[in-house]
């Protein structure tokens, strides 16, 4: 994989003397990102996403890779040049986009930079108790939950968080970004960005109670699970109330996976609401429970959160093979995720062309093999099965390349070739 942006990763750029040099460097990176956003291919990429999410036949299914934990190998912290924390974060953001251009997937790149709305949260630890995890000393090693709610009496310590929009902090954060990017890239204030999955309340529940104990509670003390889920649900709803009250909603249909036509065509800016936005949800922590428990302890709560939004994407790495019916009953479901553990044939039979299928590949199957022969066969067989469906080809949750430095590029090219062949 030839990297046309290699100059930005070379030692010469490590010799930045002061903040002024760092600002100049970040502006150069931003200018390159704007150039990518203005390439003729970008219009086709965005149309590809909009077509498949709008249940229209695209030229071929979009192909997207999110390295996630692998970024530490692709762009090591030691390779970053800026010392200022904000500039360093911006440097990493822009370098990721430059690297993705070389992977050559269907990443939709915008010519503006997003700045999040700032909310003051009470209590500061959100739920009234501190979330703690036990981990090994080695970076990147395993961790386990450490329950903050050891006994039923501990539940009395929980609090429903309150969110207050802070216009001063919001404006100050945006102004700092505008000072850096002025004349190169405009700044857009948004309530949320990226993979917005606040409806995945099982994650917060596991963090507070612990995974094993939460699953035991479902059998032995179900009222405790409902008590916890109700409280987390109320907290989520308060956050969404605060977002709407701030009056700063901007549709988030310009993100990977969720790039789409306006969810309510013709709505003007002052009338934007959550109905103009996407939300993602999943049930990874409840992967091993029955469909009935999945509905009772999670999906019934999630549906009420989903109802406030215009479009829903459901699923992540969990196996939804036996839980498809209740998920497909979500009224505003647009995307159904087929993880590597969900039966693709059964999902295709259920979904057909009623929703977009997010076909996710298993990271280990991509990076571990010494060659790509088996991977190419798997991708072509899957793409053939999906022919006639509306689908996305997605690779996420990577942690290492296993020494195969060209593998992400190879995966992208194989996936695109298969998508075109079976378009």
- Over the stretch 126-182, which tens digit does the pLDDT of each residue have? 999 999 888 887 877 888 988 999 999 999 999 999 999 999 999 999 999 999 999
d(CA 278, CA 300): 19
Lowest-confidence region among 70-79, 201-210, 384-393, 409-418: 70-79
d(CA 34, CA 110): 7
- Determine the 3-state secondary structure of 145 from DSSP: strand
- Cβ contact 377:415 at 8 Å: no
Quick check: 322 pLDDT over 90? yes
Radius of gyration of the chain (CA): 22
- The answer to whether 339 and 318 have CB atoms below 8 angstroms apart is yes
Closest alpha carbon to 393 in 352, 353, 361: 361
pLDDT of residue 12: 58
Which helix (DSSP H) or strand (DSSP E) does residue 359 occupy? Answer: strand 356-361
Q: pLDDT-derived band of residue 11, with 50, 70 and 90 as boundaries?
A: low
* Rounded to 5°, angle at Cα 71 from 69 and 75: 155
Distance CA 323, CA 53 (A): 22
Structure tokens at 359: 């076909």
Percentage of residues of the chain with pLDDT beyond 90: 91
Q: CA-to-CA distance for 136 and 409, rounded, in angstroms?
A: 33
CA atoms of 101 and 150, how far apart (whole Å): 48
Q: What residues pair up with 313 in beta bridges, in sequence order?
A: 280, 335
Q: Tell me what the pLDDT averaged over the chain comes to.
A: 95
Q: Specify the pLDDT at position 141.
A: 80
- CA 398 distance to own-chain centroid: 13
Q: Evaluate if residue 346 carries a pLDDT over 90.
A: yes
Separation of alpha carbons 316 and 337, rounded Å:
6
Determine how many CB atoms are found less than 10 A away from the CB of residue 59.
Answer: 12
For the stretch 353-378, pLDDT in tens is 999 999 999 999 999 999 999 999 99
Determine how many CB atoms are found less than 10 A away from the CB of residue 355.
Answer: 24
Question: pLDDT for 213-230, tens place per residue?
Answer: 999 999 999 999 999 999
Rounded to 5 degrees, φ, ψ at 109 are: -110, 130
pLDDT at position 226, please?
Answer: 98
Alpha carbon distance 26, 34 (integer Å): 12
Quick one: pLDDT band at residue 10, thresholds 50, 70, 90? low
pLDDT the model gives residue 140: 75
pLDDT more than 70, % of the chain: 97
* Calpha distance 423→409 (Å, rounded): 21
Give the C-alpha distances (Å, rounded to integers) separating 206 from 26, 146, 209: 39, 9, 5
Instruction: Please list, in sequence order, all residues whose beta carbon lies within 8 angstroms of the beta carbon of residue 242, skipping any fewer than 6 positions away.
Output: 119, 163, 164, 165
Q: In this structure, what token pair is assigned to residue 332? A: 């505003």
Determine contact, residues 55/356, Cβ cutoff 8 Å.
yes
Residue in 345, 346, 340, 308 with CA at minimum distance from that of residue 325: 346
* 63 touches 416 (CB < 8 A): yes
Please give the structure tokens belonging to residue 55. 């249940």
Q: What is the pLDDT of residues 13-56, one digit of tens each?
A: 666 889 999 999 999 999 999 999 999 999 999 999 999 999 99
């Amino acid at each position: 994989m030839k990297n046309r942006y290699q100059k930005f990763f070379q030692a010469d750029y490590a010799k930045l003397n002061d903040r002024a040099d760092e600002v100049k460097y970040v502006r150069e990176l931003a200018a390159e990102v704007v150039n990518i956003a203005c390439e003729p291919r970008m219009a086709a990429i965005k149309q590809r996403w909009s077509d498949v999410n709008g249940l229209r036949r695209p030229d071929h299914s979009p192909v997207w890779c999110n390295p996630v934990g692998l970024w530490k190998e692709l762009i090591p912290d030691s390779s970053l040049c800026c010392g200022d924390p904000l500039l360093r974060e911006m440097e990493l953001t822009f370098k990721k986009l430059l690297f993705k251009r070389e992977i050559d997937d269907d990443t939709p790149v915008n010519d503006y930079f997003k700045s999040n709305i700032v909310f003051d949260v009470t209590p500061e630890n959100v739920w009234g108790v501190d979330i703690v995890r036990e981990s090994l000393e080695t970076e990147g090693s395993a961790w386990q939950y450490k329950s903050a709610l050891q006994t039923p009496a501990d539940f009395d310590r929980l609090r429903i968080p309150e969110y207050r929009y802070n216009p001063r902090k919001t404006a100050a954060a945006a102004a700092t970004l505008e000072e850096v990017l002025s004349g190169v890239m405009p700044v857009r204030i948004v309530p949320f960005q990226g993979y917005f999955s606040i409806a995945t309340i099982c994650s917060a529940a596991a963090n507070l109670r612990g995974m094993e104990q939460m699953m035991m509670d479902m059998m032995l003390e179900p009222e405790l699970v409902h008590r916890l889920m109700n409280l987390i649900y109320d907290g989520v709803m308060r956050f969404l109330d605060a977002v709407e009250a701030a009056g700063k909603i901007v549709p988030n249909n310009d993100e990977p996976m969720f790039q789409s036509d306006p969810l309510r065509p013709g709505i003007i800016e002052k009338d934007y609401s959550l109905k103009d936005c996407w939300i993602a949800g999943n049930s990874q922590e409840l992967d091993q429970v029955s469909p009935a428990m999945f509905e009772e302890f999670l999906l019934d709560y999630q549906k009420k959160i989903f109802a406030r939004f215009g479009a829903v994407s459901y699923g992540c790495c969990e196996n939804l093979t036996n839980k498809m019916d209740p998920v497909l009953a979500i009224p505003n479901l647009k995307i159904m995720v087929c993880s590597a553990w969900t039966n693709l044939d059964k999902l295709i039979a259920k979904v057909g062309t009623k929703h977009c299928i997010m076909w996710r590949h298993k990271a280990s199957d991509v990076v571990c093999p010494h060659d790509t022969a088996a991977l190419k066969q798997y991708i072509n067989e899957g793409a053939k099965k999906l022919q006639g469906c509306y689908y996305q080809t997605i690779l996420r949750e990577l942690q290492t390349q296993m020494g195969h430095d060209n593998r992400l590029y190879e995966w992208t090219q194989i996936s695109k070739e298969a998508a075109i062949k079976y378009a």
